[in-house]
């Protein structure tokens, strides 16, 4: 499960994601499935705060930062649908 936050990491985000992972485990997870993994993407994070926030969590959760860029990696643009293609699919 991936959660994207538009701001800086806050310790309460770890508890919220842990809640979501528990819900996924109860509602969606089947026998034999691997553990549900959580990834929290934030605009920025303080490593020490993130470490303390996750220290006693029993579910596998990771916290990472992201960067917004105006340029796609070479070759990726051709693999993505155009704006027009997306609009056509939405109208159907």
pLDDT tens-digit map of 35-75:
999 999 999 999 999 999 999 999 999 999 998 888 888 88
* pLDDT at residue 92 tops 70: no
pLDDT number for residue 37:
96
The residue ranking higher by pLDDT, 4 or 69, is 4
- Look up residue 11 and give its two tokens: 């310790």
pLDDT of residue 71: 83
pTM: 0.72
Measured from the Cβ of residue 47, the count of other Cβ atoms closer than 10 Å reads 10
Instruction: State how far the alpha carbon of 38 is from the alpha carbons of 25, 82, 87, 88, 89, in Å.
Output: 12, 30, 31, 33, 30
* Residue range 6-18, pLDDT digits in tens: 999 999 999 999 9
- What pLDDT does residue 73 have? 81
- Neighbouring-strand partners of residue 40: 3, 63
Q: What is the bridge-based pairing of β-strands 61-65 and 2-4?
A: unpaired
- Percentage helix, strand, coil for the chain under 3-state DSSP, each rounded to 5: 40, 15, 45
Q: State how many domains the chain has.
A: 1
Range of the domain at 23: 2-91
């Amino acid at each position: 499960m991936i959660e994207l936050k538009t701001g800086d990491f806050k310790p309460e985000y770890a508890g919220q994601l842990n809640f979501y992972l528990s819900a996924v485990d109860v509602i969606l997870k089947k026998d034999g499935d691997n553990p549900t993994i959580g990834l929290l993407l934030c605009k920025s994070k303080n490593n020490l705060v993130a470490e303390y926030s996750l220290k006693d969590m029993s579910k596998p959760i990771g916290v990472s930062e992201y960067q917004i860029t105006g340029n796609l990696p070479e070759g990726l643009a051709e693999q993505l649908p155009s704006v027009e293609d997306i609009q056509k699919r939405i109208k159907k």
